Amino acid sequence: MDWQFDGIPLHPLLVHLTTVSVPVAALTAIVTAAWPAARRWLAVGAPVIALVALVSVPLATSSGEWLEHREKETALLERHTELADGLLPWSIAVFVLLTLWWGWHRFAAPRVTNDGVARAVGIVGPVLLVAAGIGSLVEVVVIGHAGAVSVWKG
């Protein structure tokens, strides 16, 4: 695909979408894990936010790979592109966990009669959501910093 519009690369635009949507999805995961009222308020919106973030990641990486082949190869650019490949698994984790968490509370939790299962999900779910949220936040900051260094110092 030609990742440009009127001769201007689309990567910066798509990167801005990613650098906003991934942290918003990560913070949504952390908030819904820690605050039950937010979980009820966000409801299906939480997985939708995470889906937007998930879709933005391959768009940004694909446009970045397209742009990489048109730029001078440097060690800074190589580091940025290598780091960028690590964001997709975190975004998948946030999306899947938020979807499961929403589904659990929407469909399964009201029907579960085993207190042990409910307690285990109530402990493991938030821990995984917070871990995935923090992991994706750290990853997007590190990738963004490496990209900025590549552009401004490379």
pLDDT in tens, 82-109: 999 999 999 999 999 999 999 999 999 8
State yes or no: pLDDT of 154 exceeds 80.
no
From the DSSP assignment, how many helices (H) and strands (E) are in the chain? 6, 2
Q: What is the pLDDT confidence band of residue 2, given thresholds at 50, 70 and 90? A: confident
Ranges of each domain in the chain: 4-153
Q: What is the pLDDT of residue 25?
A: 98
Q: What is the pLDDT of residue 113?
A: 85
Closest CA to 52 of 34, 26, 78, 30: 26
Give the whole-angstrom CA distance, residue 11 versus residue 128: 31
Beta bridge partners, 31, equal none
Q: What is the pLDDT of residue 149?
A: 94
Burial of 43 (0-12, 13-18, 19+ CB in 10 A): middle
SS (H, E, C) 35-59: CHHHHHHHCCHHHHHHHHHHHHHHH
Q: What is the pLDDT confidence band of residue 112, given thresholds at 50, 70 and 90? A: confident
Q: What is the pLDDT of residue 143?
A: 97
* Tokens (6 digits) for 28: 């949504």
Judged by DSSP in three states, 141 sits in helix
pLDDT tens profile 126-145: 999 999 999 999 999 999 99
Mean pLDDT of the chain: 94
pLDDT tens profile 25-80: 999 999 999 998 998 899 899 999 999 999 999 999 999 999 888 888 899 999 99
